[in-house]
Amino acid sequence: MTIEFTRRVEVTLWLNGRDLTTVVSPRTTLLDWLREDIGLTGAKKGCNEGACGTCTVLVDGRRMNGCLTLVVQCEGRSVTTVEGLAGADGALHPVQRAFAEFDAFQCGYCTPGQLLSAVACIAEGHAADDASVREWMSGNICRCSAYPQITAAVLAAAREEPGR
Amino acid sequence: MRDFAYARAGTAESAVGTLADPGTSVIAGGTELLNWFRLGIAAADRVVDIGGLDELRGIASDGDGLRIGALATLNEIGEHPLVTQGAGALASACLQAASAQIRNRATIGGNVLQRTRCPYFRAEEPLPWPCHKRDPGSGCASLAGRHERQAIFGWTQDCVAVQPSDPAVALAMLDAQAEVLGPAGPRTIPMREFHLTQREAAEAGQPMRETRLEPGELITGYRLPASAGGQAYVKVRERASYEYAIVSAAAAVRLDALLPGAVLPGAPGAGRIAAARVALGSVAQRPWRLDAAEAELPGTPLTREALTPVIERAMAGAAPLPQNEFKVTMARNAAVRALLTAGGAS
């Protein structure tokens, strides 16, 4: 069986609950596509090399760096960004409410990535205590250093909505 | 990032078929490859995606041992009960690598093929300094400049870089075998011989070579032999999480159950070692098994005082660079700590 290589690839995926078909150049990262093609700028381009976590999104419920994921690798998958966290009626996700309540940010640049990472951290069952949150949230850097507040918010949201 | 043509492979065999063309790269997780493309460390005209191949997935018992598919992610391996029970050092190494989100993408097949973190190597082209890996024969800016994180074994004047993979150290310690598929069919490569030091590569007449994987070959999985006793992976780094190792050590220890005290971990005069394996990480361009120590350890009490001189003798051939002599001491201590933890004494 020969394999056919192409320079334009059609990709069908779910984005924040809506199905969508797009045609991309293979090199297009999920992050660039979200920000430049779709106009969802919640995921931020901090380092563009997987070091900072500001581009964290959920792919099939698992957190991943948008800058290290190609759109062509998302065929048939479900992608959730910060724009898809709140309910259809605009009600904030429990993790978003906890971040607001605990003041878990200063400048807010890292917050979309922190939120998605926190949602996954709780669902994975890794928000048991201070140490596990700090370990399993270490892929999201906060240069304002709001880590104590972020840790408290994740633990509070986990108590409200325990993981598996 | 330069654009490339893309295809999804339907089978591992068909993916290997495309690799006869040297301009074709394999992508699985992509966490390393995309950064190579961005920096100009690698360039490909074609990328073949193996991420959809179910035949390369899975973690399963294999007789007394384990088989792990090349597409298993670091998080899947780190939290899989078969791995935490039978290959605890590997599970620990996987979970101490990278970040939670990277570990959801990074595969165990790609992980061992990651390249050095040397900052002189990981710069955007055009490089403002010499780097043998980027421009063969140009020399080593790190040797002339900063090199406190570099090799203490096996380096040459051309390159002093270390291999940064955590899982590779555990795989080498556990005597895992990599299963690879190439144009000539399948074969296996022992993980303790998978990577090459700069000196080994130079002596083989292929100074640019970093592994025994041949061009056109694909890692399809790993076989791990039966559990080697209590295990540990100790990673020493500048922050507690999400950081590469300065040094690391993987160990497995079986205590001599017939001797008194063996069941009282940590007690004075506690257990003697029946058999042990130990490997160092981030000290060379390959995981560094301490064969001489492994030969000497049976009968040795599981105490810091008894273990330290054994490890020191096994590391007598270390050749630190002017700025990294501290790594000799740090690696020795990491090895001792890994053995103590694996044996249940700390």
ipTM of the complex: 0.97
Which pLDDT score, from 0 to 100, does residue B318 have? 98
Residues A75 and A99 in one domain: no
Name residue, tokens 């970093």: B210
Whole-angstrom distance, CA of residue B152 vs CA of residue B150: 7
* Residues contacting A101, CB < 8 A, separation 6+: A153, A156
Q: Does A68 touch chain B (CB under 8 A)?
A: yes
Which pLDDT score, from 0 to 100, does residue B346 have? 75
Q: How far is A125 from chain B (nearest CA, A)?
A: 12
CATH class of the structural domain B230-342: alpha beta
Which pLDDT score, from 0 to 100, does residue B270 have? 64
Whole-angstrom distance, CA of residue A125 vs CA of residue B75: 13
B contacts of A7 (beta carbons < 8 Å): 3-6
* Residues contacting B2, CB < 8 A, separation 6+: A27, B37, B43
Domain finish residue from A64, A84, A104: A84
Q: Is residue A133 part of a domain?
A: yes
Of A7, A134, A139, the CB nearest to B99: A139
The sheet carrying B185-190 orders its strands as B59-62, B65-69, B218-224, B177-182, B185-190
Q: Is residue A3 part of a domain?
A: no
**H or E segment at B82?**
helix B81-86
* Contact (Cβ atoms closer than 8 angstroms) between residue B98 and residue B242: yes
Which pLDDT score, from 0 to 100, does residue A2 have? 79
Provide the domain count of chain A: 2
Whole-angstrom distance, CA of residue B194 vs CA of residue A150: 42
Which pLDDT score, from 0 to 100, does residue B228 have? 76
Cα-Cα-Cα-Cα torsion B327, B41, B31, B18, nearest 10 degrees, comes to -130
Q: Do B102 and A50 touch (CB under 8 A)?
A: yes
* Chain B, nearest residue to A113 by Cα: B101
Q: Is residue A64 part of a domain?
A: yes
Which pLDDT score, from 0 to 100, does residue A87 have? 92
Q: Is residue A129 part of a domain?
A: yes
Backbone angle region of B139, left / alpha / beta, with phi > 0 → left and psi within -120 to 50 → alpha: left
Residues A76 and A26 in one domain: yes
Could you tell me where the beta strands, DSSP code E, fall in chain B?
A: 5-8, 24-27, 46-49, 59-62, 65-69, 177-182, 185-190, 218-224, 230-236, 247-255, 273-281, 288-289
Residues A28 and A73 in one domain: yes
Which pLDDT score, from 0 to 100, does residue A164 have? 41
**H or E segment at A59?**
strand A56-59
Residue A117 domain boundaries: 94-160
Residues A77 and A99 in one domain: no
Q: Do B35 and A49 touch (CB under 8 A)?
A: yes
Residues A37 and A73 in one domain: yes
Whole-angstrom distance, CA of residue A57 vs CA of residue A61: 9
Q: How many CA atoms lie within 13 A of A3 on its CB side?
A: 24
Q: Do B4 and A26 touch (CB under 8 A)?
A: yes
Residues A31 and A80 in one domain: yes
Q: Residue B116: which of B41, B176, B189 has the closest Cα? A: B41
Whole-angstrom distance, CA of residue B281 vs CA of residue A128: 31
Q: How many CB pairs under 8 A join A and B?
A: 108
User: How far, in whole angstroms, is CA A154 from its chain's centroid?
Assistant: 15
* Residues contacting A95, CB < 8 A, separation 6+: A85, A115, A118, A119, A122, A153, A154, A157, A161
Q: Do A68 and B51 touch (CB under 8 A)?
A: no
Q: How far is A65 from chain B (nearest CA, A)?
A: 6
Q: Which domain CATH number covers A70?
A: 3.10.20.30
Q: Is residue A119 part of a domain?
A: yes
Q: Which domain CATH number covers A129?
A: 1.10.150.120
Which pLDDT score, from 0 to 100, does residue B20 have? 94
B contacts of A63 (beta carbons < 8 Å): 100-101, 104
Q: Do B27 and A126 touch (CB under 8 A)?
A: no
Domain finish residue from A84, A102, A132: A84
Which pLDDT score, from 0 to 100, does residue A163 have? 54
Q: Which of A23, A138, A147, A154 to mutate to test the interface with B (most CBs of B within 10 A)?
A: A138
Q: What angle, 0 to 180 degrees and rounded to 10, lies between the N-to-C axes of helices A94-101 and A147-160? A: 140
Q: How far is A75 from chain B (nearest CA, A)?
A: 10
* Contact (Cβ atoms closer than 8 angstroms) between residue B35 and residue B79: no
Tens of each residue's pLDDT in chain B, 346 residues? 999 999 999 999 999 999 999 999 999 999 999 999 999 999 999 999 999 999 999 999 999 999 999 999 999 999 999 999 999 999 999 999 999 999 999 999 999 999 999 999 999 999 999 999 999 999 999 999 999 999 999 999 999 999 999 999 999 999 999 999 999 999 999 999 999 999 999 999 999 999 999 999 999 999 999 987 999 999 999 999 999 999 999 999 999 975 554 455 545 456 999 999 999 999 999 999 999 999 999 999 999 999 999 999 999 999 999 999 999 999 999 999 999 999 999 7
Q: How many CB atoms lie within 10 A of CB B116?
A: 23
Q: How far is B57 from chain A (nearest CA, A)?
A: 16
Report, as ranges of residue numbers, the positions in chain A whose pLDDT lies below 50. Answer: 164
Residues A62 and A28 in one domain: yes
Q: Do B14 and A50 touch (CB under 8 A)?
A: no
Domain finish residue from A84, A119, A148: A84
Residues A107 and A144 in one domain: yes
Q: How far is A28 from chain B (nearest CA, A)?
A: 8
Q: Residue B336: which of B311, B314, B318 has the closest Cα? A: B311
Residue B40, burial from CB neighbour count under 10 angstroms (0-12, 13-18, 19+): middle
Q: How many CB atoms lie within 10 A of CB B56?
A: 25
Q: Is residue A1 part of a domain?
A: no
What percent of chain A shows pLDDT beyond 90? 95
Residues A99 and A69 in one domain: no
Q: Does B123 touch chain A (CB under 8 A)?
A: no
Name residue, tokens 């919640």: A42
The domain limits of chain B are 230-342
**H or E segment at B335?**
helix B326-342
Q: Which of B3, B19, B101 to mutate to test the interface with A (most CBs of A within 10 A)?
A: B101
Q: What stretches of chain A show up as alpha helix (H) in DSSP?
A: 30-32, 94-101, 111-123, 130-136, 147-160
Whole-angstrom distance, CA of residue A62 vs CA of residue B71: 16
User: How far, in whole angstroms, is CA B293 from its chain's centroid?
Assistant: 20
Buried b (16+ CB within 10 A) or exposed e, A101-138: ebebbeeebbbbbbbbbbbbbbbbebbeeeebbbbbbb
* Chain B, nearest residue to A68 by Cα: B31
**H or E segment at A10?**
strand A9-15
